[in-house]
Chain A
């Protein structure tokens, strides 16, 4: 009996010190970030961005990830295996056809999430124009709006009050919100460029402007975006609010 308790205690301690299991139950439970493979333009200017973000998620949070490059066409039915989608680019791309639009619209309307990342260093790039045209057709009648500072994205893990990327083309995020849920977020600040790390552990791209702090904030924003997709407005539950508001008040006394 005594032996059993010793074993149990050791196991429990091990559980505390090494609580992360080897893998989650089922591939479907792990977070994978597929990239949208559209026609025309460059759909993969930051080849390591998604994997680098997943690595940061695995390192910083309890989320189970599966780091594998995955590219899916916008009309592919396989999209519904992956609720979180990433779409990067730095140039104009061909408009999506109706089938692709319908598939993507259904994906986002019924629980999916799309992060669009403008990887150009210029503010009004051809990619930006293509993205806006696509969103207008994707959600006609729903405007692409700036996300307010009290949006859950800015408090889903880190408390953030700045929006940056590798560059700061637009110091804000834009998004499509439907039925109380933000289903699409557009950053024009090359988040992928800030996240992207080679297999040897070197940053692929230098930051423009803010240096390491800007990269740190970009990584935090990336983590927050994924956490928002996974937990929605969880951080707006009443149980969190007093502590969050107190911490925000300390960071920004005004």
Chain B
């Protein structure tokens, strides 16, 4: 064939075989039609030559036509010549080692995990595999719901029962894809058959179909058995991802108990070491699945981690499934606001309407409608007035409020002075207190030198003039305009404009100076002096605010009269509620993670954003980052980091193991300790323990469908008797296709032959 390759400019030494290819569509109907057409045309042509006397000429013309028709047929059949190099292919055997978590379940009575039998079988049969490799390509894979190739040398040492899911159908789909174009002649599967996807007894029709595409048999090796299997497990706990503080939360728990017998077991819910609720579940011999409902009431806000547990009995196959931890984001259902009004006024009317219409607010308000000197001209029974429940509010239920507002309210004679220290304590322990101005506030309310003054953001100068009347424009400092209280618009410039657009207030309380650590967020300017009108302060765990006017309603009603809207008034009060009740987004130190849940060994990216109490970012400051496990608080990382020019920073954490973690960022700024925290979960699905039993049926069905054999692994299991087909398979390593018809000389010859024929016919007197 050397001459043939030379004809097309190829070296024969590069190939060792050739093959002629025809256009596949030319076969069948087309070819038959073409054959009939050629025979008919030759017959008609022969009859048309009857007028030619010379038999040689007749024969010459007929030969021309035959050659022409042959060339036409060639173009239709599109013949191609393939030069190729072919090599013999080694048949392959795949060895699949199930490394899912269920392989870690103990078998009895040896109390060795199922994976132990796989390791033992691999070690005992090393020589078998070495021998097998002489005739076959032997590939090893760890399988679960995917296949991971592993060299024989590492097959035992790297084997770990850690994969989180078993899906043998997917494994065989991946295997088929992996060996596409190769000669897979057999599979050895080492598994417990605890496939989470196969619900029907045996195997599903789709799985069967996939198996039939394999050439060779699947020999299955069962690791472990169900003899003496004993396990108590929390299979599932259904609880909402979030709950409301002080509102009951339900959890539905599914338990499974196999081989435990008749027992009463406690199901306990804990937060940290504190038991929240427990319930006794009665196990019976006949049942292996139970449901129990628990109810508990979250007492703290934020991401809380709760753990359910049942006792671990001796000889249990799996111990880790006897507990179940879950996270609940506890939020406020509604913000409870106590709004005390010294007297009915337009300011209190508009604020009450705003609070009452806010779906997030649970409002309790009191108006002092009459004083001791008022002459109502009626008996008590003719009045709708009720006694002010002072003691109830300020000694018994004060802590149930998220925010207490004194709106132009003078405490005497309604609140006993000794109860003022309760308000101070309430704030220091995390409460919020707002004093709104007026003639009954600050000095007018007698709060100077009282426990309330200690927590107020202003100090009261009792000997000064008390009020400044007139149209006064509230100004907010530009650098503080992004304070959560002042954020009427998200864009800083628009925000400043929004404040400038508000109508003036018509009076402020004066004689107030900012307390230590307080921030003046709004002021009015009078005779060249700035008078604080809006002052905020962090007091230990709580927050306080002073609004030194009772005419903020101008920002609503008067603004409408000027053609605007009360939008900014509403927004301002939303800000006040959010900031005072310490909504997480109002914390000066914000710590976030890129996700809330991570898989094992995934990298956790922590981002923090640090501002001072005035909410001005702190660039280039040192912060301390502490990573801890929850709920035990084991410290994993303690590192000092610096914020960038935006007051931000990043940290990457590799938790590795499953569990709950917290990231805390803290710093000291202006003598105050600021901190922020976020929590996240690293999980490793426990789904493998939902079907922990060895599935002999599945493994047997697998081998039966493929013509393989089923074995149970034991101490001395040998593979010597296994056999695999060994067909001779060749593989084409290189080739070149050459067209025999698609060339200039084919078409030129057709035209030339027809021209000669035409010329001879003309000379012979034919048309």
Q: Which residues of A contact B (CB under 8 A)?
A: 11-12, 15-21, 23-29, 31, 59-64, 77, 79-81, 83, 106-107, 110-112, 155-159, 181, 216, 219-220, 227, 229-235, 237, 239-240, 243-244, 247, 250-251
Contacts and interface: CB of A to CB of B under 8 A. Distances in A.
B367 to A, nearest CB: 6
Nearest to A229: B349
B550 A239 contact: no
B284 interface: no
Contact of B370 (A29, A61, A80, A247): A61
Contacts of B365: 234, 237
B240 interface: no
A25 B344 contact: no
B381 A80 contact: no
A231 B707 CA distance: 87
Nearest to A64: B343
Interface stretch (B291-299, B501-509, B621-629, B650-658): B501-509
A251 B381 contact: yes
Interface string B365-398: 1111111111111100111111001000000000
Contacts of A237: 364-365
24 contacts: A12-B412, A15-B413, A17-B372, A25-B408, A25-B437, A26-B506, A26-B549, A28-B506, A29-B347, A29-B408, A59-B374, A60-B377, A61-B344, A81-B561, A110-B560, A111-B350, A111-B557, A111-B566, A155-B384, A159-B383, A232-B349, A234-B367, A239-B364, A239-B389
B469 interface: yes
Nearest to B470: A26
Nearest to A248: B384
B384 A159 contact: yes
Contacts of B389: 239
B384 A158 contact: yes
B144 interface: no
A156 B370 CA distance: 12
Contacts of B721: none
A235 B384 contact: yes
B381 A250 contact: yes
Interface of B: 342-350, 352-353, 356, 364-378, 381-386, 389, 408, 410, 412-413, 437-440, 444, 446, 467, 469, 505-509, 549-551, 553-554, 556-558, 560-562, 566
Contact of B412 (A15, A28, A229, A230): A15
Across chains A and B, which 4 residue pairs bring their CB atoms closest together, nearest first? A80-B561, A26-B507, A230-B344, A26-B506
A113 to B, nearest CB: 10
A107 to B, nearest CB: 7
B382 A26 contact: no
B308 to A, nearest CB: 37
B382 A19 contact: no
Contact of B438 (A24, A80, A229, A250): A24
A231 B367 contact: yes
A64 B376 CA distance: 15
B446 A111 contact: no
A60 B350 contact: no
B413 A19 contact: yes
Contacts of A106: 560-561
B413, B469, B505, B561, most chain A CB atoms within 10 A: B561
A247 B566 CA distance: 39
Nearest to A79: B561
A16 B561 contact: no
B554 A28 contact: yes
A77 to B, nearest CB: 6
A247 B386 CA distance: 11
Given A64-B343, A251-B382, 19 more contacts: A15-B412, A17-B373, A24-B438, A25-B438, A25-B439, A25-B467, A25-B469, A28-B551, A29-B438, A60-B376, A61-B370, A63-B344, A107-B561, A111-B349, A111-B557, A111-B566, A157-B383, A157-B385, A251-B381
B349 A230 contact: yes
Given A62-B370, A77-B562, A23 B382 contact: no
B557 A83 contact: yes
A18 B566 contact: no
B506 A232 contact: no
A29 to B, nearest CB: 5
Contacts of A229: 349
B352 A234 contact: yes
Contacts of A62: 342-344, 368-371, 374
A210 B578 CA distance: 54
Contacts of B378: 158, 220
A117 B550 CA distance: 30
A77 B377 contact: no
A110 B561 CA distance: 9
B439 A23 contact: yes
A133 B721 CA distance: 106
A112 B561 CA distance: 11
A157 B146 CA distance: 76
A230 B346 contact: yes
A243 B386 contact: yes
Contacts of A227: 344, 369
Nearest to A22: B439
A36 to B, nearest CB: 15
Contacts of A231: 344, 349, 352, 367, 369
B735 to A, nearest CB: 83
Nearest to A60: B376
A62 B469 CA distance: 21
A59 B371 CA distance: 10
B446 A20 contact: no
B245 to A, nearest CB: 21
A159 B386 CA distance: 12
A104 to B, nearest CB: 11
B451 to A, nearest CB: 14
Contacts of B509: 25
A247 B384 contact: yes
B346 A25 contact: no
Nearest to B383: A158
B689 to A, nearest CB: 50
A63 B439 contact: no
Contacts of A243: 386
Given A61-B344, A159-B383, A83 B446 contact: no
Nearest to A59: B375
Nearest to B411: A15
A110 B56 CA distance: 117
Contact of A26 (B350, B373, B505): B505
B384 A230 contact: no
Contacts of B439: 21, 23-25
B410 A60 contact: no
Contact of A25 (B349, B368, B375, B550): B550
Nearest to B376: A60
Contacts of A157: 369, 376, 383-385
Given A28-B554, A107-B561, A159-B382, A21 B367 contact: no
A211 to B, nearest CB: 16
B412 A16 contact: yes
A60 to B, nearest CB: 5
Contacts of A81: 558, 561
B370 A110 contact: no
A128 to B, nearest CB: 29
Contacts of A24: 345, 438-439, 550
A247 B381 contact: yes
A64 B373 contact: no
A29 B342 CA distance: 12
B352 A232 contact: yes
A25 B507 contact: yes
Nearest to B386: A243
Contacts of B446: 11-12, 15
B508 to A, nearest CB: 8
Nearest to B556: A111
A110 B350 CA distance: 10
A158, A234, A247, most chain B CB atoms within 10 A: A234
Nearest to B417: A12
Contacts of B437: 25
